[in-house]
Structure 1
Amino acid sequence: MSNEQRRFGIGIVGTGMGAKPHALALNALRDTVEVRGVWRRNSEALARFCAEYDFPAAPDFDSLLADPGIDAILIITPPNARHDLVAAAARAGKHVLMEKPVERTTEAARAIVQLCDQAGVKLGIIFQHRFRAASKALAAHVASGALGALQAVHLVVPWWRPQKGYYDQPGRGTVAQDGGGVLITQAIHSLDLMLSLTGPVKAVTALCATTGLHQMETEDFVAGGMEFANGAVGGMMATTANFPGGAESLTLNFAEAGATLTGGNLTLNWMDGRTETVGEASNSGGGADPMAFPFDWHQAQIEDFIAAVREDRPPLSNGHTAMHVHRLIEALVRSGREGQRVLVEA
């Protein structure tokens, strides 16, 4: 049976908060995808997850790597538990689809990308906001050149996360487990989407702070100015201290039109008076429930990853594209810490 005829085999590592949309998406793809095993150290949590989604439990990670029917490993662990898992999967010749961020620091993320390159396996990074219908429509407009040159960018991520039940969780919002606060854990989605549409940022000037609404090690508020490599300028604000939380908004002002993505909706206001809208009614996870969003964005990304493996091409969202947002976040944090303009690593 050819690779195109049989179901694509996936093994899952991790069943925490971020696993639900993956599980729902994989169940929706059962005709073409087979979850051949799930592994987590906590056996009780593993049993509950597998029973809820009708997946088989694996006795250990090595059994997933030894299974010839598994094409890829889906890793949904905290970022501090990634490197050794990815290294073992790559050695076993398994492709890797992994939750954002790649790792806690840019240096550690680069090491993971390099080891997958050296092993010749695909590395996909989950940035599901790229796969919304509105995001794909705007990407097509940008690629066509019809919008003209980009001039200005405005990004706002006005989210809320409570202290109780969220930041009180062990390790949440720490450098050791998460690698940082609102930037690398929440706003990274919107920043990645922004970069996929604008191209790289060359320099930033930022303010990073922790408000009195949270007791946490890292930042829950960031505001900054951005200078883009293509000459555009922009501003961004990201927070988890905006109760009760709202939809993120990205506005791109081009020579021929202004484009605004709000949650899953796109509005194009053309300079000649035309207006276009593309949208879907949905939540985005901006409030107290981080998982309050549809699973179809994950489904679309999983489908792209499988197609990339079978067509031997990079996934749309991969380790190399993820490095752009890692470098931007590192520069924003450094600028906030040093109180000065910082160049973004090219």
Structure 2
Amino acid sequence: MKRRLRLGVVGCGEIARYTALLARFVPRLVLSACCDHNDEKAHRFARQFRIPLAFTEVEEMLETAGLDAVYLALPHHLHAGMIRRAVEAGKAVLVEKPLTRTLSEGVALVNWLAGQNAKVGVNYQYRYDAAAYRLAQAVRAGELGRVFSIRINVAWRRDESYFRSAAWHSRLDQAGGGTLITQASHFLDLALWALGEEAQEAAGWTATPRFDVEVETLAEAILQTEGGTLISLTSTMAAAVEEAVRIEVYGERGQAVYTDLPLPRLHVRGVRLGRHPLPVAGLHALQRSLRGFVNWVLDDQPYLIPAEGALVVLAAVEAVYRSAQSGRRELVEKIRIAR
């Protein structure tokens, strides 16, 4: 058994900085290398987080850095190709959400991965949030009874620097979308995972208040799952004042409300939920996600979001975007994976 997982970071932007900071508190994880096409950025990142090797070419890092795995914090349109390159080099992969920019790319990738001996996980880190995990497990265990409604509100605020520092965020061909795919997909993933169902039909609306960009900064959606649960979703990055994320789950026996600020909390009425402890310890969801990935690669303990598990939310997101364009309800594409 390997004692430590040697991880390389690809893409030295804002989210990678958070990940590198929390990686210091993950047992058996060592940041061995980093890579960015901008040489100054790569070396500054290496100095800041005491990473011994910095690269501007991914192939060189994969061939020479002695890595076990890579963490990808890249524009969405680069995910599919970079995952393939890392897997072909014999590395495990943890990629920032979404798995890929489009569902078709994701399905093709997962089908390709079926023929590889590789572990690829997607960092939908809220599955490792203690309160969110407890909510999801309670729903899966039927403790709220049949769930008939879930309401999700994501009122976040971004300023011009969000697009200025990473211009790909503003481009539809690179990001695939805006607040829905980049931010709200975290919580839609959580809802669908909790239900253990795929979305079946979607109605959606998008707009772009406050910014002159190609992607939406406001999205509204209603989705119906295979089991008949209605999920209503509002997400924005244009809020005047940022608010806590709120997920309300209404079941036949009781209801539960998750909020993430100032700390993640779960308020329950009508029933008493089980404890449902997380499979890994830690103080922060991202830290736990990293620890879960390490345990998966080194010890073969299941990671909560393998690549195939991230397709369900991607299919739902695409249906909402199609609905926003067509002005009518859209069926969610069924996911077909080769077995």
TM-score by length of 1: 0.87
Checking the alignment, whether the CA contact within 8 Å between 1:269 and 1:275 is kept in structure 2 is no
Whether 1:205 and 2:193 are equivalent positions in the alignment is no
Structure 2: give runs of 5+ residues left out of the alignment. Answer: 277-281, 335-339
d(CA) in 2 for partners of 1:128, 1:84: 22
d(CA) in 1 for partners of 2:41, 2:250: 47
What is the alpha-carbon root mean square deviation over aligned residues?
2.2
Cα offset, 1:85, TM superposition: 1.9
Letter in 2 for 1:200: E
The number of equivalent residue pairs is 323
- Aligned twin of 1:267: 267
Letter in 2 for 1:190: F
Whether 1:83 and 2:80 are equivalent positions in the alignment is yes
- Aligned twin of 2:102: 105
Q: What are the Cα deviations for residues 189-242 of structure 1, in whole angstroms up to 9, with x where unaligned?
A: 11111111123211111222222x111112111112221211222321111121
Letter in 2 for 1:151: F
- Aligned twin of 1:172: 169
The one of 315, 329, 334 equivalent to 1:341 is 329
Q: What are the Cα deviations for residues 247-279 of structure 1, in whole angstroms up to 9, with x where unaligned?
A: 1111111111101111121111116xx69999x
Whether 1:306 and 2:294 are equivalent positions in the alignment is yes
Letter in 2 for 1:37: A
Letter in 2 for 1:216: V
1:55-204 map, 5 Å: 55-59=51-55, 60-67=57-64, 69-162=66-159, 164-169=160-165, 170-198=167-195, 199-204=197-202
Checking the alignment, whether the CA contact within 8 Å between 1:266 and 1:277 is kept in structure 2 is no
The one of 212, 226, 229 equivalent to 1:232 is 229
The one of 48, 56, 63 equivalent to 2:44 is 48
Q: What are the Cα deviations for residues 165-207 of structure 1, in whole angstroms up to 9, with x where unaligned?
A: 1234423221122111111111111111111112321111122
TM-score by length of 2: 0.89
d(CA) in 2 for partners of 1:217, 1:332: 17
Letter in 2 for 1:95: A
d(CA) in 2 for partners of 1:275, 1:119: 40
Identity %: 28
Displacement over 4 Å in runs of 4+:
274-278
- Aligned twin of 1:289: none
d(CA) in 1 for partners of 2:111, 2:52: 31
Give the secondary structure class of the aligned counterpart of 2:221: strand
Structure 1: give runs of 5+ residues left out of the alignment. Answer: 279-293
Letter in 2 for 1:266: L
Whether 1:37 and 2:33 are equivalent positions in the alignment is yes
d(CA) in 2 for partners of 1:202, 1:174: 28
Checking the alignment, whether the CA contact within 8 Å between 1:46 and 1:57 is kept in structure 2 is no
Give the secondary structure class of the aligned counterpart of 1:176: helix
Letter in 2 for 1:165: S
Checking the alignment, whether the CA contact within 8 Å between 2:138 and 2:273 is kept in structure 1 is no
